[in-house]
Every structure is written in structure tokens, then in C-alpha cells.
Amino acid sequence: MHVYVDGAFVPAVEARISVFDHGFLYGDGVFEGIRVYDGNIFRLQQHLQRLHHSAQCLLLTLPLSLGEMHAAIVETVTRRGLPNQYVRVVISRGAGDLGLDPRHCPHPSVVIIADTISLYPAHLYTQGLELVTVATRRTSSAALDPRIKTLNYLNNILAKIEAQQAGALEAVMLNQEGYVAECTADNIFFVRQDRLYTPSTAAGALQGVTRDSVLEIAQRLGVPTEEGLFTRYDLYTAEECFMTGTGAEVVPVVRLDGRTIGSGQPGPLTAKLRRGFDDLCRHDGVHVPTTAPDSVLV
């Protein structure tokens, strides 16, 4: 397995960044997680656009053009040679000094890793997941816009630790006003009276690519959708609930804080949206060979 690091492919065990890299020292950088399904890089253009927007907000100059980034990702996926992959694209501020000043980091770094991923056991996709609400609040959108996908996930990690200590795999995070924002690494949806709801970015939700895909699928199916401000009451009294994310895909949720959601089983609309997503993710994107070439040079 080889990893792309600043223009070169190196064995994963030899991949290195500087200890003075501000991504390592301060979490100063942005990233994207991208899925490959049956050789199809799902919604690569949307991921690249979000990467560009995140970097722009941090005044972080991408060292590659979007076209060059596209080519580097395709090359990394091709070299890995697996039909199904998870791709992590990281842009860090680069090596500097021990101060915060980004002007001392003249050369941002690019790392692209292609591997496999499995966030939840397979049976949870058919039986459903149990969530808990945690005390750790989502970082205020007044402090950091949730649409910026940065390397600093400490807020989410603390929430994940809380969930694990409560015996759950995942947590619901609220914002400072007590509205539902998202889970630690996924967006959250709920269903009531055949209508689909999800927290807005104003509530602190990341504008996820999978989230947007599910909203599009729902609209194609004629399911009304609404983004807004919701409380735990809305989740407790929902008929169905599920999470979405690049790594998680579409995961049904059947219990929250000890309360059964709906029938306690994954709901029919959740199943329909999951089938729609499974179909979409194998057709919307960039197709690449699933067998790595003997020798490809960059």
C-alpha cells in the first residue's frame, strides 16, 4: 500500500510529515473523506468543491489546482486497486515554527490515503443503532462555521468518549441553544408523517455530501424535506430516525436516550432512502480501474 505525500507515492510505513507541521501541532488544515464503490469515486467533484471552500475560509492556499487534485486522487485510488475504498484527502498548513502564525508555513502539504473502512457492525444496518445525547456541545457556528471541514475534531472526539462511557457507539450533539446539531461524525435525520427532517447548518450541522445526496433522493421520490431547528423532543417522538455520513453511509437509529423511536425497528422510508443511496453511489462519480497498473509514475 502506497500513500500520496506532496507529489510522490511512498510506502505507507514510510509516509512522513514534519513534526513542525501545523496540521499536527494545531489542527490547522482541512480534509475530505471520499468513498469508492465498485470503482466509482462517489461525487468527487462535490468533495473537491467543499475542500476548496474549506481551505478558502482558512486562507489556506491549496498547493494543487482542483484539476491536479482530481488527478492525484484518481491515481491514488487506481494504485490501491480495490473496488471499494475510503479515501482521506488532507491539506495541512505545512511546516512552520512553534507559533500559531500561518505566515511561517510557506508550503502546505497534501496527503492522500486510500484504504478500507467499516465504522459500524453490519447487523446495525438491519437492526438499528442506539444513541445517547451527550453533554459536550457542538462548537458554536459563531465561533467556527460547521461547513468548514477542518482537521480539529477534538469537540467531536470528546462527545464520542462520552458516548462510549455510556455504552453507546454514537452520540447526538446539541448546540449552545439546546437544538440538535449532528452526531459526532454523522448528520442525523428523522421522519414524521412521511416528511423528512434534518438540522440545518445554522444549527451546527456539517453540510455533508451524503446528507445532501439523501435530501436529493427524497425529493426525487416525492418525499417532502425540511431543514431547520429541532430539539430532542422531535427525535424522541419521530416515526423513524437515521444517520448519514461518508464513512457510515445510511444507518438506522432505533433508540435515543433509552426511548424507542417509532416501532423500534428501521423504518420503511429509511430503507427506501438507503436503497436509493446504494444505487446513486455506484453511478454518480468518476469511474476508475479497479486493478492497479504494474507501474505508474507521478
- What is the total count of domains within the chain? 2
Q: Looking at residue 165, which CATH number applies to its domain?
A: 3.20.10.10
Co-location of 69 and 196 in the same domain: no
pLDDT tens figures, 36-86: 999 999 999 999 999 999 999 999 999 999 999 999 999 999 999 999 999
Bin 38: left if φ > 0, else alpha if -120 < ψ < 50, else beta.
left
Co-location of 141 and 228 in the same domain: yes
Establish if 298 belongs to a structural domain. no
Q: What is the model's pLDDT at position 295?
A: 38
Closest CA to 72 of 111, 107, 43, 106: 111
Establish if 261 belongs to a structural domain. yes
Boundary (domain end) residue, out of 67, 84, 117: 117
Establish if 218 belongs to a structural domain. yes
Q: What is the model's pLDDT at position 291?
A: 63
Q: Looking at residue 70, which CATH number applies to its domain?
A: 3.30.470.10
Mean pLDDT (the chain, rounded)? 95
pLDDT interval class at 297 (50, 70, 90): very low
Q: What is the model's pLDDT at position 290?
A: 67
Cβ-contact 271, 214 below 8 angstroms: no
Cβ-contact 31, 86 below 8 angstroms: no
pLDDT tens figures, 177-215: 999 999 999 999 999 999 999 999 999 999 999 999 999
CA distance 76 to 4: 7
Establish if 290 belongs to a structural domain. no
Closest CA to 6 of 17, 19, 22: 17
More confident residue, 119 or 255: 255
Co-location of 142 and 216 in the same domain: yes
Co-location of 133 and 273 in the same domain: yes
pLDDT interval class at 269 (50, 70, 90): very high
Average pLDDT in the 106-128 region? 95
β strands within the chain, DSSP E: 2-5, 8-11, 29-37, 40-42, 85-92, 109-115, 129-133, 170-174, 180-183, 187-192, 195-199, 225-228, 240-245, 249-256, 259-260, 285-287
Establish if 287 belongs to a structural domain. no
pLDDT at 293 over 80: no
Domain that holds residue 110: 2-117
pLDDT tens figures, 274-284: 999 999 998 88
**How many Å from the N-terminal Cα to the C-terminal Cα in the chain?**
16
pLDDT tens figures, 214-239: 999 999 999 999 999 999 999 999 99
At 114 the three-state DSSP class reads strand
Co-location of 175 and 274 in the same domain: yes
Co-location of 105 and 74 in the same domain: yes
